[in-house]
């Protein structure tokens, strides 16, 4: 459980990200900043992330000869590697004296508990460009349910063509069975779940984005 209960402090958080990687009554991850929010979208999408949690623990540190407590933004549990504590911070604040004390305390805690420590900045997230924008767009469709019939129709269509298809081409191929809006929603869903692939480093576009089966 997070150190702070998000349901009891709803006004404390600026953002909430839907999650399928945590079992909660309200399946949302709560974030205080846009940096945390965007990183949560990346964690939710990353297949190497088994689970993650906001504000997972409290770490003491000394600053100005007084004891303070620091709460990292996330703990992340990865497949086949040590878990991580993650702090999301503007790059401009990384070298502030009190923050340097926090990072030292966090790294010591990680060494003692067999974690790694990660700093995620606004600068690093902005460098992701279209990839991050696309993941956030696809997430809205990835958390929606699609019918087995629509899914089967689209996967069968891509398989039958045996080549990369644009979304517009898929709309044309499937028009006898599915409405155009349904095709687009289903394609974005299947891209998010990894059942179809596309180059997500470029802006998604129904005319130019090519869709194919992922390489096994």
- pTM of the model as a whole: 0.90
Q: Which of 126, 156, 187 is the last residue of a domain?
A: 126
CB 138 within 8 A of CB 191: yes
- Average pLDDT of the chain? 92
In a domain, 149, yes or no: yes
For the domain that residue 80 is a member of, what is the CATH number?
A: 3.40.1350.10
User: Helix, strand, or coil here: 30?
Assistant: strand
Region 37-53 average pLDDT: 97
- In this prediction, residue 215 has a pLDDT band, given cuts at 50, 70 and 90, of confident
How many percent of the chain have pLDDT more than 90?
A: 81
- For residue 157, give its domain range: 130-211
Predicted confidence at residue 97, as pLDDT, reads 96
pLDDT at 5 over 60: no
User: Helix, strand, or coil here: 58?
Assistant: coil
- In this prediction, residue 212 has a pLDDT band, given cuts at 50, 70 and 90, of very high
Same structural domain for residues 83 and 157?
A: no
Same structural domain for residues 17 and 118?
A: yes
pLDDT at 170 over 70: yes
Angle at the Cα of 105 from the Cα atoms of 100 and 111, rounded to 5 degrees: 125
pLDDT, one tens digit per residue, over 52-111 is 999 999 999 999 999 999 999 999 999 999 999 999 999 999 999 999 999 999 999 999
Same structural domain for residues 34 and 107?
A: yes
In a domain, 97, yes or no: yes
Predicted confidence at residue 119, as pLDDT, reads 98
Residue 179 sits at φ, ψ, to 5 deg, of: -70, 150
Same structural domain for residues 159 and 81?
A: no
In a domain, 5, yes or no: no
Same structural domain for residues 138 and 150?
A: yes
Region 174-184 average pLDDT: 90
Same structural domain for residues 30 and 96?
A: yes
Same structural domain for residues 89 and 151?
A: no
Q: Which of 61, 92, 126 is the last residue of a domain?
A: 126
Region 114-127 average pLDDT: 98
Predicted confidence at residue 108, as pLDDT, reads 97
pLDDT at 154 over 70: yes
Predicted confidence at residue 216, as pLDDT, reads 64
Same structural domain for residues 20 and 96?
A: yes
pLDDT, one tens digit per residue, over 184-206 is 999 999 999 999 999 999 999 99
The Cα–Cα gap between 208 and 176 comes to 22
Same structural domain for residues 67 and 35?
A: yes
Predicted confidence at residue 111, as pLDDT, reads 97
Q: Which of 70, 91, 126 is the last residue of a domain?
A: 126
Structural domains of the chain, count: 2
Residue among 3, 141, 162, 143 nearest 69 (CA): 3
In a domain, 78, yes or no: yes
- In this prediction, residue 12 has a pLDDT band, given cuts at 50, 70 and 90, of low
């Amino acid at each position: 459980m997070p150190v702070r209960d998000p349901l009891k402090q709803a006004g404390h958080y600026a953002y909430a990200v839907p999650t399928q990687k945590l079992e909660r009554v309200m399946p949302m991850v709560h974030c205080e900043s846009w940096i945390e929010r965007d990183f949560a979208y990346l964690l939710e999408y990353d297949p190497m992330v088994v689970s993650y949690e906001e504000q997972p623990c409290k770490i003491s540190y000394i600053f100005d000869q007084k004891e303070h407590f620091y709460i990292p933004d996330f703990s992340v549990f990865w497949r086949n590697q040590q878990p991580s504590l993650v702090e999301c911070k503007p790059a401009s604040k990384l070298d502030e004296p009190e923050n340097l004390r926090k990072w030292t305390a966090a790294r010591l805690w990680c060494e003692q508990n067999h974690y790694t420590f990660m700093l995620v900045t606004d600068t690093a997230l902005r460098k992701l460009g279209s990839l991050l924008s696309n993941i956030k767009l696809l997430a809205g469709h990835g958390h929606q349910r699609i019918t087995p019939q629509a899914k089967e129709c689209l996967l069968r269509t891509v398989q039958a063509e045996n080549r990369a298809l644009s979304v517009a081409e898929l709309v044309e191929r499937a028009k006898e069975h599915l409405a155009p809006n349904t095709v687009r929603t289903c394609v974005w869903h299947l891209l998010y779940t990894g059942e179809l692939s596309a180059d997500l480093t470029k802006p998604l576009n129904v005319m130019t984005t090519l869709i194919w089966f992922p390489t096994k």
